[in-house]
Amino acid sequence: MTDSLSLRARLFGPVSQFLLQPVLAAPAEQLRPKLERIAGLITRIPRGVTIEPITLAGRPAEKLTPKDRAGTQVIYYLHGGAYLGGSPRTHRGMLAHIAKAAAATVVAIDYRLAPEHPYPAALDDAVAGWQALLAQGLRPADLVIGGDSAGGNLALVTAIALRDRGLPQPSGLVLLSPWTDLSSSGSSMGTRAERDRLLTVRGIDRAARQFAGGLPLTDPRLSPLFAKLNGLPKTLIQVGDDEVLLDDSLRLAEAAGKAGVDVTLEHRLGLWHVWQVMAGWMPEADQSIAAIGAFVRGLQR
């Protein structure tokens, strides 16, 4: 399965595991600063992208604008980090590559984190940020919501909340290894446990319970895999075969398709959780970023 991977992927997989797996299993107060430091080491920011600190709906945020921006598209991005850590800064490198590939501005909001701010704080911030973008005069047709891991969960529950509240929907969703089932009922929690380079079932369960705020982990407000998915916009899902969250994506793609959603699933063999952060270093990451850019550009109308 890994024989077809590039030499760099075969190198960076173990390196990512060594650097990140212990950090991602740490308590939030340790996770956050360590993740910031490691992100600065392993991510590469491409030339030709301006990064600007902004405020969105009262929250810190970053705006990444490529020199060769085309049109008026904006990707509203919600970072991963198990709802316990992460920030626009930890994802800056990957988002700069996405901005270039899509020829679109990326706006990443620093939403509130658990355990200090359990559900629904992150969703409230994400929806408020969406409304703030609309208030700036941006058209919903020009907006895409993206996210990875817990941010993929948040992107999906935000789209569902917009639908249910009668608010304008984005033109598309980009979900990278989304965490769609906080109850961990997928079979890949067992079949990929030894192969996952970054996540552990125990760590996932701990994060889910800290974020849930007392709600059952199967509640569709937490686990959008169990929500009604009809009426959602065109969706791109990317997931690696070597991750415990594999079934979160496979089952989501199946359920969304049955609900009438135009969904594209890119299932990459031999790759790990959110490998796209290695953009600029690893050809598999660059290929996936290019696919995201093509998907976003294809939404223009």
- CA distances from residue 167 to 155, 175, 222, 223, 228 in whole angstroms, order as listed: 15, 20, 20, 21, 16
Q: Give, for 286, the enclosing helix (H) or strand (E).
A: helix 283-297
Asked whether the beta carbons of 72 and 142 are under 8 A apart, the reply is yes
Spatial separation of the C-alpha atoms in residues 191 and 277, rounded to whole Å: 24
CB 162 within 8 A of CB 93: no
Q: Which residue among 16, 171, 243, 284 is the active-site one? A: 243
Q: Catalytic residue at 266? A: no
What residues does 161 pair with on adjacent strands?
Answer: none
Tokens coding 96? 């700069």
Helix (H, G, I), strand (E, B) or coil at 162: helix
Rounded to whole angstroms, the Cα distance separating 276 from 297 reads 18
Antiparallel, parallel or unpaired: β 49-56 and 59-66: antiparallel
Sign of CA dihedral 295, 94, 275, 233: negative
How many Cβ atoms are within 10 Å of 22's Cβ, its own excluded?
Answer: 11
126: closest CA among 221, 258, 192, 2? 221
Q: Which of 16, 149, 171, 177 is catalytic?
A: 149
Q: Is the preceding omega at residue 118 within 30 degrees of 0, hence cis? A: no
Query: CA-to-CA distance for 70 and 81, rounded, in angstroms?
Result: 30
Q: What one-letter code names the amino acid at 96?
A: A
Question: Is residue 4 annotated as part of the catalytic site, yes or no?
Answer: no
Active site residues: 149, 243
